[in-house]
Copies of this chain bind each other. A is one copy, B any other.
Amino acid sequence: MTTEQLTVTIIITSWKNTVGRADKFFSTLTEEQFLLEVAPGRNRILYLLGHLTAVHDGLHTILGLGERMHPELDAMFVSKPDKEIEPLPSISALRKYWTDVNGSLSEKFAGLLPQEWLQRHMAMSEEDYGRDPTRNRLSVLLSRTNHLSYHLGQAVLAIK
C-alpha cells in the first residue's frame, strides 16, 4: 500500500465507521423516538436525520461526484431550524433517503483514485487551491465526518 493509499483509506474508513455508528443508532429507534428532542426545546432526532442526509447529499456536489439525490431537503433541514417547516417527509421516507445517499456516496468514493482525493473540492477556485492545497476533497470529508459525530453525540441524548 502506498502512503497515498494508506492515508486515503484511513480517512474513508473513519467516515464509514461513523456512518455505521449512526446507522446502527437510527435503526434501533421507533417512530415515536424519532420525535423526541435531543434536549428540552432542541432539535428532534427526525430533524437531525434529515439535516445529516441533506448535508451528506451535498457531498455529491462539493466533491464533484454527480447530481444530488434530494436537493429538496435543504429548504427543510438546512435553511430552516426544526419545527418551522410542516409537513416534513415521513420518517420511513427519511430513513430511505439517508440509506440511499450514504450508499451512493460509498459507491462514488470507491471509484475515486487516491490522487483524486487530493484534488481541490468544487467550492474552491483553482487559484485559491494553488495557495492552499490542503483544501481538497479529503479535508471536506474529514469535516463532514466531524459534523456527523457532533450531531450523533446529540441524538443519543434523546434516548434513555
Enumerate chain A interface residues (CB-CB to B < 8 A): 1, 3-4, 6-11, 13-14, 18, 38-42, 115, 118, 133-134, 136, 138-139, 142-143, 145-147, 149-154, 157-158, 160
Contact = CB atoms under 8 A, between A and B. Distances in A.
Contacts of A158: 39
A143 B146 CA distance: 10
11 contacts: A7-B138, A11-B142, A13-B139, A38-B157, A39-B39, A39-B40, A41-B160, A146-B146, A146-B149, A150-B152, A151-B153
Contacts of A142: 10-11, 14, 142, 145
Contacts of A147: 149
